[in-house]
Amino acid sequence: MPKQKMKVASRVAARKFRAKTVGLPPGALIHVGEQKIERPVISFFDYDPGKLESRQDVSIEECLAMKSSSTISWINLDGIHDIPLLEKFGQNFDLHPLALEDILNTQHRPKLEEFEDYSLIILKMLEFNEETEQISAEQISLVLTPHYVLSFQERPGDVFDGLRDRLRRSNGRIRQRGTDYLVYGLIDSIVDSYFQILEKLGDRLALLEEQLIVAPNQDCQHKIHHFKRELLNLRKLVWPLREVISQLYSGEAQLVEETTAVYLRDLYDHVIQVLDTVELYRDTVSGLLDLYLSSISYRMNEVMQVLTIMASLFIPLTFIAGIYGMNFENMPELKQSWGYPAVWGIMIACVIGMLTYFKRKKWF
- Assess 258 for contact with a copy of itself (CB under 8 A): no
Which helix (H) or strand (E) segment holds residue 97: the answer is helix 97-104
Q: Per-residue x/- marks for a copy of itself, 62-91, CB under 8 A? A: ------------------------------
Q: Least distance to a copy of itself from the beta carbon of 339, Å?
A: 5
Name the residue among 180, 198, 54 with its Cα closest to residue 118. 180
Nearer to a copy of itself, 35 or 217 (CB): 217
Nearer to a copy of itself, 70 or 337 (CB): 337
Amino acid occupying residue 120: L
Nearer to a copy of itself, 71 or 273 (CB): 273
Site for a copy of itself in 304-343 (CB under 8 A): 304-308, 310-312, 314-319, 321-331, 333-337, 339-340, 343
Check if the beta carbon of residue 192 is closer than 8 Å to that of residue 123: no
- The neighbouring-strand residues paired with 52 are 47
Q: Least distance to a copy of itself from the beta carbon of 98, Å?
A: 5
Nearer to a copy of itself, 82 or 243 (CB): 243
What b/e readout covers 309-320, taking b as 16+ CB neighbours within 10 angstroms?
A: beeeeeebbeee
Interface residue with a copy of itself among 251, 266, 352, 353 (CB under 8 A) is 266
Check if the beta carbon of residue 168 is closer than 8 Å to that of residue 147: no
- Assess 109 for contact with a copy of itself (CB under 8 A): yes
Q: Least distance to a copy of itself from the beta carbon of 181, Å?
A: 10
Check if the beta carbon of residue 45 is closer than 8 Å to that of residue 164: yes
> For residues 20 and 169, what is the distance between their CA atoms, to the nearest angstrom?
46
> For residues 269 and 245, what is the distance between their CA atoms, to the nearest angstrom?
10
- For residue 122, the number of C-alpha atoms closer than 13 Å in the C-beta half-sphere is 23
Alpha-carbon radius of gyration of the chain? 34
> For residues 348 and 346, what is the distance between their CA atoms, to the nearest angstrom?
6
Site for a copy of itself in 160-179 (CB under 8 A): 161-163, 165-166, 172-174
Q: How many residues bind a copy of itself (CB under 8 A)?
A: 127
Interface residue with a copy of itself among 301, 349, 353, 359 (CB under 8 A) is 301
- Assess 300 for contact with a copy of itself (CB under 8 A): yes
Site for a copy of itself in 18-47 (CB under 8 A): 18-19, 21-27
Interface residue with a copy of itself among 48, 57, 203, 252 (CB under 8 A) is 203
